[in-house]
Each structure stands twice: as structure tokens, then as C-alpha cells.
């Protein structure tokens, strides 16, 4: 397995010189300043690659080449969007980039309710509170239907929290939820989020699946011809939020996607934290089933609560058996002569991380601790 480190370019407080001290070999990056749906220009891709290579790295994975919301909704100038996506793939291939991560989650790339939840031993972590998310949907967005989507314990706790919360605390919750919009994408206020949610009214699970299948049919043949591996990221969290359908949350979902366009270029980003937040997912079994179609791995861990909440734990401390997952990925590499790039996904804010303006979860010390633990697993298994 090949070590990589996610770097947000101009949006990252860490320099490549600092990242070099982690000992990682590859960089995971993207052109976050380019609006969704626009072609990534070849010259900007070349500039980013040169910047990475001058620092002594290779640009191993694009994360992410975003999918326009029109494609997810199945509306708007779809041919134009597909043409732009294919053009970006062609420009990436011309620069030697062969792995592209993307997701098909409506509106938000990921969702948390707390960006700096305190840890018992010091430091902070990312946390998803089902109670606070229920508050956000029911009380702040006015979605009474959300009462059917959450555990009753979460709804009761959320009602109590809302009654005692201040406007500043509710603003902090909105900020945390909006942190799932990456790069230069504008954040929404409550009314703005209501408006964009309304654009998805009536879209069913089957509709979103059909729109993903159309996307795959449009782009996978091009990716395959170019030698690019596309790898879809699972839903985060892997369950319904905001009344939006989720179609990459379970092993069955992944199997459906792999068969929708049965081409090796149509692959998976195996995110153990995202999939691990679903109590019904067996992560070693998923790695065993789809190791041959896993083109990229996000390795992190979570601790789950009965009401649907979860906390991003230490890499060796959560509910996911990362040793077993990595063992399956190493077996897939041996059987299929591949070298799967992986990164220590997210990390606690520890020591000098505290007070820094990192992208949420993308700390230095916390991720380095996670990388060290993953290195230990891989060394022992190898």
C-alpha cells in the first residue's frame, strides 16, 4: 500500500515542506478553487503537479473532481456537464494523473455537528450528534418529517438541547454542518439551505441511483480509455439526512454501483470511517468483496452510539477492525498486482494542532499519529 497525504493547496495552512517531514510519498490534492461544472484547465493541472513534484512528491490521487448538482438531480444542461467532466479527465490524464476520487452525495460532501468535540485525554475530534442533527432539521430547518428519521432518544435529547441553546450555539451548529462544503464553495445560511434542498424535492432513492448510473455510463468509458481509475466515496454519514436519498451506504449499494457499469475503471474509495458509521456494515467483508475494485483507501475509525451518533476515534481505538480491513487490502494487492494508495483519514487535533486553522479533520499531529499507527499495522501484516 502506498502512503499519501491530503493537501488542499492554497486552502491548506500546511506547506509541502512541512508535509515532507511526515515521510509520506504521495499527495492527494485537487483544484478546489475551480467552480463545480467547469473544466479543469490543463495548465492549472500542470502547475499543481509541478508544485507537488518540486517538493519531492508525486500527485497520486485527485480528491475530488466534483460532480455538479445538476447531474445528481438529473436536471439542467447535462450534456454540457458531462462534456466538461470528460474534458477534465482528459487534462488530468495528459498530466499523468490516474486515480480520481469523487462522491455522489447531494449538496454536502460530509456532515458533522461538532468540529472540536473534547477528548477525555485532551485534544479535540470531529463528532456527529444525532440529537443536534435532529435539532438542525426539525427546529432550524422546520422539517417536521425528520422526526421519523431519527432515534427517539436523539429527538428527545435534541428537543432539550434546543430549548436551552443560545443563538451563538445554533450558529456554531450551522457552521459545523456547512463545513461539509469543500474549497471555495459558498456556505449557505438557513434560508439558502432550504432553497437548495427544495431543488431536490421529489427525488427518490431510485431516481438518484438512475442519475448515478447515467453519470457512470457517460464518464467511465472515457476514464477507461484514458487509463484513469474512478473511485466513488461512500456517503458520510451512511444514512439519510436532510431528507435526501443516500445510495453509497452499504455493501449492497457498492455492489449495485460496480455492476451498473461493470468496468475496472468504475471503482471504490474504501472509507472505513464513513462506512464504519453504519452499524450494519462489516468492513472486512466489504474489503474482501471489493478489494479488486478498491483504487483508493481512507483509513480511520469511529465509535458509534445506539442513537445514531458517532465520534471519530483514534485509528486503533474505534469499532472498525482496521487490522482485518488492511489485511484484506494487502491480500487484494497481492492477488491483483496493484498498489493501493491510502491516507490516514482525518485526525484528532492534538498538541500544536490546537488553535490552528486546518480544514476540519485535517490536522498535522493527529494525522501523523494515525499514519504511524497504520504503518505499524502494515509492517506487522507484511
What are the residue numbers of the active site? 233, 271, 298, 345-346, 362
Distance, CA of 106 to CA of 73 (rounded, Å)? 8
What are the DSSP calls for 360-378, one per residue?
Answer: TT--SHHHHHHHHHHHHHH
What are the DSSP calls for 163-213, one per residue?
Answer: HH--HHHHHHHHHHHHTTS-TTPPPP-HHHHHHHHHTTTT--HHHHHHHHH
59 contacts: CB under 8 Å, gap ≥ 6 = 26, 27, 29, 48, 49, 52, 53, 95, 96, 97
Nearest CA to 105 out of 21, 203, 26, 11 is that of 203
Distance, CA of 135 to CA of 163 (rounded, Å)? 10
Distance, CA of 369 to CA of 347 (rounded, Å)? 8
Q: Strand, coil or helix: what is 312?
A: strand
Distance, CA of 38 to CA of 127 (rounded, Å)? 33
Backbone angles phi, psi at 318, to 5 degrees: -95, -165
Distance, CA of 192 to CA of 195 (rounded, Å)? 5
Is the distance from CB of 281 to CB of 238 less than 8 angstroms?
Answer: yes
184 contacts: CB under 8 Å, gap ≥ 6 = 11, 32, 33, 35
Element (H, E) at 127: strand 124-128
Element (H, E) at 54: helix 42-54
Tell how strand 301-304 and strand 2-6 pair up: unpaired
Backbone angles phi, psi at 27, to 5 degrees: -115, 140
| Distance in angstroms between the alpha carbons of the first and the last residue of the chain | 10
Amino acid at each position: 500500500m502506498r502512503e499519501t497525504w491530503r493537501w488542499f493547496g492554497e486552502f491548506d495552512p500546511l506547506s509541502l515542506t512541512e508535509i515532507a517531514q511526515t515521510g509520506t510519498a504521495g499527495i492527494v490534492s485537487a483544484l478546489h478553487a475551480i467552480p463545480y461544472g467547469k473544466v479543469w484547465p490543463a495548465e492549472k493541472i500542470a502547475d499543481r503537479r509541478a508544485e507537488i513534484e518540486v517538493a519531492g512528491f508525486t500527485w497520486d490521487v485527485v480528491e475530488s473532481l466534483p460532480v455538479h448538482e445538476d447531474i445528481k438531480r438529473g436536471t439542467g444542461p447535462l450534456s454540457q456537464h458531462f462534456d466538461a467532466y470528460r474534458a477534465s479527465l482528459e487534462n488530468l490524464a495528459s498530466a499523468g494523473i490516474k486515480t480520481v476520487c469523487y462522491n455522489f452525495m447531494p449538496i454536502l460532501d460530509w456532515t458533522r455537528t461538532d468540529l472540536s468535540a473534547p477528548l477525555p485525554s485532551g485534544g479535540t475530534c470531529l463528532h456527529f450528534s444525532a440529537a443536534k442533527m435532529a435539532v438542525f432539521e426539525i427546529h432550524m430547518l422546520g422539517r417536521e418529517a425528520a422526526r421519523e428519521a431519527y432515534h427517539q432518544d436523539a429527538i428527545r435529547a435534541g428537543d432539550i438541547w434546543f430549548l436551552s441553546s443560545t443563538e451563538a450555539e445554533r450558529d456554531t451548529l450551522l457552521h459545523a454542518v456547512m463545513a461539509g462544503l469543500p474549497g471555495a464553495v459558498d456556505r449557505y445560511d438557513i434560508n439558502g439551505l432550504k432553497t437548495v434542498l427544495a431543488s431536490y424535492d421529489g427525488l427518490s432513492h431510485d431516481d438518484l441511483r438512475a442519475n448515478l448510473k447515467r453519470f457512470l455510463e457517460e464518464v467511465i468509458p472515457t476514464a477507461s480509455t484514458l487509463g484513469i481509475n474512478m473511485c466513488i466515496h461512500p456517503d458520510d454519514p451512511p444514512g439519510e439526512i436532510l431528507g435526501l436519498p443516500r445510495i453509497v451506504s452499504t455493501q449492497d449499494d457498492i455492489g449495485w454501483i460496480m455492476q451498473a457499469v461493470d468496468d475496472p475503471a468504475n471503482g471504490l474509495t474504501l472509507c472505513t470511517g464513513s462506512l464504519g458509521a453504519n452499524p450494519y456494515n462489516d468492513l472486512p467483508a466489504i474489503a474482501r468483496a471489493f478489494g479488486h475494485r478498491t483504487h483508493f483507501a481512507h483509513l480511520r475509525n469511529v465509535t458509534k452510539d445506539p442513537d445514531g451518533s458517532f465520534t471519530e476515534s483514534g485509528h486503533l481505538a474505534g469499532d472498525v477492525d482496521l487490522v482485518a480491513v488492511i489485511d484484506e487490502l494487502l491480500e487484494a494487492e497481492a492477488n491483483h498486482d496493484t498498489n493501493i494508495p491510502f491516507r490516514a483519514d482525518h485526525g484528532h487535533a492534538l498538541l500544536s494542532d490546537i488553535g490552528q486553522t486546518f480544514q476540519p479533520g485535517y490536522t498535522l499531529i493527529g494525522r501523523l499519529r494515525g499514519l504511524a499507527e497504520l504503518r505499524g499495522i502494515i509492517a506487522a501484516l507484511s
